[in-house]
């Protein structure tokens, strides 16, 4: 005991951190104040709640709907608090705006690919932020290039912006131009595009990526996750449905919202990994709470893969609710087995391996006093390459755990993802051509259990039609150049 009377916590420092090998999604946040107030600060704080979706770059673009349509923009490489300060925010005046946090799943890491993209064309301006990955990007880029388009970036958002601008010349409204452009797209695309006086949110027909509408007083918001609305004190209105285009404008009457659902299909396929890992646990996606999904996953694991153990620990952050669920389902006590440095950030989504490795020793430490002399069930969200799981198991043993039983709240990763999740090619997946027993031996665990495919319905309460292609290989849609890709 220390003199203060507080228990002294001793952590076993080890060269581990929570790196699943997955790239994170991007996050979008847009706002439109019908009363004319500035919206940049609200977008900024909303983006803070979405920082987990991307740490490569960020930006905000704003404009005054009663002014000449000039768009003010500020963006840069790094985290929000590295790119913005009070002075840069104050310069972003205007009652209409859109922001972005980016992980580079398509294109390289660089300021030229930071979003929002601002496009000046014959009909005015467009500001666009995208979360997703197009499957026909190469063909679209080639077609536009042969027709004279000069691309400044390597990201799919620029393709979409060009298509909208081209269609706008032939249509009577920007929402019609967006609809015509979307008919030419395939893949995952949740985005917000602002014209001089309208805010438009789009979710692709499969609904791979989340997108929702919120409201605070007379200000409307479109964002990737509900946690962003909670952060700024806005009320959740509803999810944007798969295949829906919503237009937000004072011209749309009392509701302020107009909907176009002509892109909808019979079988949408939202990404199941949003619930397992990507989304923040306090978000609700398509009517299903993320935290509850992860707790339920842990309960399922306890039923499917019981263990004779003394303690259950979840690997922070997304493994923690599943660890609690395993404890509730098994009756084994739940405890904190790890001390996480919350000031490091989610270092695993740094785009280069060299950047990730530099943060290895400061990210996550084992709490020796919690695990020493105990048989431990370690619950995590996934195993991709397996190297990190092996390090964590080794660290638990070094801290005195007598047994380490690993439970994973997702099925085996067997296939790459084409929809914006940076899952490695098949040869880099540990489950490729290996049995569970072989994986267990590689990571050094006493036993290993994964979520079963048929249990995924239960974690989303049978409310959501989802994509599980990274586990099952049942792709809702394939890239046009699929046959030529090395997977």
Tokens at 331, concatenated: 């009756």
Dist. CA 204–CA 476, nearest whole Å: 12
The set of residues, in sequence order, having a beta carbon less than 8 Å from that of 286 and lying 6+ positions away, is: 207, 210, 239, 270, 463, 464
The set of residues, in sequence order, having a beta carbon less than 8 Å from that of 39 and lying 6+ positions away, is: 31, 32, 33, 62, 94, 95, 96, 97, 219
Strand ranges, E, within 309-438: 311-314, 338-340, 364-367, 375-380, 403-408
Tokens at 283, concatenated: 């978000």
- The three-state secondary structure class of 422 is coil
- CA-wise closest residue to 126 among 29, 197, 48: 197
Angle at 201 between CA 263 and CA 155, to 5 degrees: 90
Catalytic-role residue among 12, 14, 26, 440? 26
Dist. CA 130–CA 120, nearest whole Å: 18
Instruction: Kindly report the backbone phi and psi dihedral angles of residue 124, in degrees, each rounded to the nearest multiple of 5, phi listed first.
Output: 135, -130
Catalytic residue list contains 26: yes
Strand ranges, E, within 204-276: 212-216, 219-223, 235-239, 245-248, 257-260, 270-271
Strand ranges, E, within 104-225: 117-121, 124-134, 187-194, 199-203, 212-216, 219-223
Query: Is residue 157 within a helix (H) or strand (E), and if so which, with residue range?
Result: helix 156-170
Dist. CA 177–CA 171, nearest whole Å: 6
Active site members: 26
């Amino acid at each position: 005991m220390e003199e203060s009377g507080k228990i002294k916590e001793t952590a076993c420092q080890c060269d581990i951190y929570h790196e699943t090998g997955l790239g994170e999604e991007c996050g979008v946040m847009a706002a439109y104040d019908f009363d004319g107030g500035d919206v940049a600060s609200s977008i900024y704080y909303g983006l803070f709640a979405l920082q987990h979706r991307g740490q490569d770059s960020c930006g905000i673009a704003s404009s005054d709907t009663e002014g000449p349509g000039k768009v003010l923009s500020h963006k840069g490489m790094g985290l929000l608090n590295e790119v913005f300060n009070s002075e840069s925010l104050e310069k972003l005046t205007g009652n209409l705006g859109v922001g972005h946090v980016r992980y580079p799943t398509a294109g390289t890491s660089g300021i030229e690919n930071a979003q929002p993209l601002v496009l000046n064309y014959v009909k005015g301006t467009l500001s666009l932020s995208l979360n997703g990955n197009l499957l026909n990007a190469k063909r679209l880029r080639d077609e536009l290039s042969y027709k004279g388009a000069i691309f400044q970036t390597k990201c799919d958002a620029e393709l979409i912006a060009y298509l909208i601008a081209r269609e706008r010349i032939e249509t009577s409204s920007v929402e019609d131009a967006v609809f015509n452009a979307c008919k030419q797209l395939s893949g995952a695309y949740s985005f917000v595009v602002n014209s001089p006086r309208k805010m438009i949110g789009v979710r692709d027909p499969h609904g791979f990526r989340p997108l929702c509408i919120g409201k605070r007083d007379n200000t409307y918001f479109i964002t990737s996750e509900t946690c962003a609305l909670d952060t700024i004190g806005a009320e959740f209105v509803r999810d944007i449905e798969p295949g829906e285009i919503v237009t937000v404008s004072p011209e749309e009457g009392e509701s302020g919202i107009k909907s176009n659902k002509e892109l909808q299909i019979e079988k949408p396929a939202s990404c199941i990994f949003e619930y397992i890992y990507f989304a923040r646990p306090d978000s609700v996606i398509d009517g299903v709470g993320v935290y509850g999904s992860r707790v339920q996953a842990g309960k399922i694991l306890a039923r499917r893969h019981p263990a004779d153990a003394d303690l259950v620990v979840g690997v922070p952050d997304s493994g923690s609710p599943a660890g609690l669920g395993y404890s509730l389902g098994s009756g084994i006590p739940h405890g904190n087995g790890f001390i996480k440095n919350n000031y490091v950030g989610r270092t695993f989504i740094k785009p280069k391996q060299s950047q990730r490795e530099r943060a290895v020793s400061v990210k996550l430490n084992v709490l020796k006093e919690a695990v020493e002399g105990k048989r431990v069930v370690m619950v995590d969200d996934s195993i991709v390459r397996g190297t990190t799981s092996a390090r964590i198991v080794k660290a638990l043993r070094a801290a005195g755990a007598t047994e380490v039983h690993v439970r994973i709240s997702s099925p085996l990763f067997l296939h790459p993802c084409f929809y914006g999740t940076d899952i490695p090619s098949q040869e880099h997946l540990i489950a490729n051509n290996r049995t569970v027993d072989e994986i267990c031996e590689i990571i050094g665990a006493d036993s290993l259990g994964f979520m079963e495919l048929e249990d995924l319905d239960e974690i989303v309460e049978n409310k959501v039609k989802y994509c599980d292609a990274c586990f099952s290989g049942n792709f809702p849609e394939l890239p046009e150049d699929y046959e030529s890709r090395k997977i």
